[in-house]
């Protein structure tokens, strides 16, 4: 399920999408299809008519992508707080890299342990921990700029295009002190810096 809200600010259109994608470890294909259904199915009555036609898109929620590791390996990496190796097996990053879901979306660096599934302040034994809760963004001008670039990489990591990005995420973190859910909330703070047009 997904919910979209958009705002017109200055010369730019912003779209905010909150969603809950298919659950369970082996439902990667279902999650990808949910994402595509929301992205392609949302039609607005006025311009811009689709989600990716907006200048900036912020997509967040329980995306439900899991970590493809066995419990023993995961417990070892969690005890060592080795987020890097955990994320190497993160389903969402893998799907973004191959273009099966959230193609050309960006995500800030994750330096915290998985946000699901908790029983108060401990991971639940019923589910494998996962980075279910995420905040992504899409910048239309950056994607268009990168389309004419010779570098084969994501636009946010392109040495030629990334310096011209307008969206920056100085804060991306998980609030571990809140235990009202089996998920730990995730917070992202964004800044958008665009050059002002010179007055005539």
Q: Which DSSP string corresponds to 45-71? A: SSSS-SGGGSSEEEEEEE----B---H
Average pLDDT (35-41) is 95
Beta strands in the chain (DSSP E): 2-9, 12-20, 56-62, 118-119, 122-123, 133-139, 167-174, 186-192
Is 50 exceeded by the pLDDT of residue 6? Answer: yes
Average pLDDT (137-152) is 94
86 phi and psi angles, rounded to 5 deg: -60, -45
Q: Please give the pLDDT value at position 196.
A: 64
Is residue 116 within 8 Å of residue 132, measured between CB atoms?
yes
Is 90 exceeded by the pLDDT of residue 119? Answer: no
Q: Angle at CA 61, nearest 5°, toward 186 and 78?
A: 50
Average pLDDT (47-53) is 95
Whether the link from the prior residue into 8 is cis, omega within 30° of 0, is no
Is residue 57 within 8 Å of residue 51, measured between CB atoms?
yes
Q: Please give the pLDDT value at position 124.
A: 87
Mean per-residue pLDDT over the chain, rounded: 93
Residue carrying the six token digits 């809760």: 133
Q: Please give the pLDDT value at position 200.
A: 33
Q: Please give the pLDDT value at position 12.
A: 95
Average pLDDT (30-38) is 97
Q: Please give the pLDDT value at position 197.
A: 53
């Amino acid at each position: 399920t997904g919910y979209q809200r958009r705002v017109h600010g200055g010369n730019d259109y912003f779209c905010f999408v909150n969603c809950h994608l298919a659950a369970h470890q082996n439902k990667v294909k279902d999650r990808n299809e949910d994402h595509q259904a929301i992205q392609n199915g949302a039609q607005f009555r006025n311009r811009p008519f689709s989600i990716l036609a907006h200048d900036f898109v912020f997509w967040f929620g329980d995306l439900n992508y899991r970590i493809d590791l066995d419990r023993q390996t995961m417990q070892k990496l969690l005890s060592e707080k080795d987020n890097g190796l955990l994320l190497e097996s993160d389903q969402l990053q893998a799907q973004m890299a191959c273009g099966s879901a959230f193609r050309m979306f960006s995500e800030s660096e994750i330096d915290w342990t998985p946000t699901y599934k908790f029983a108060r302040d401990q991971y639940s034994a019923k589910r494998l921990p996962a980075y279910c809760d995420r905040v992504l963004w899409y910048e239309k001008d950056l994607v268009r700029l990168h389309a004419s670039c010779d570098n084969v990489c994501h636009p946010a990591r392109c040495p030629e295009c990334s310096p011209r990005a307008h969206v920056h995420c100085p804060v991306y973190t998980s609030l571990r002190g809140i235990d009202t859910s089996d998920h730990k909330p995730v917070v992202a703070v964004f800044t958008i810096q665009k050059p002002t047009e010179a007055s005539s």
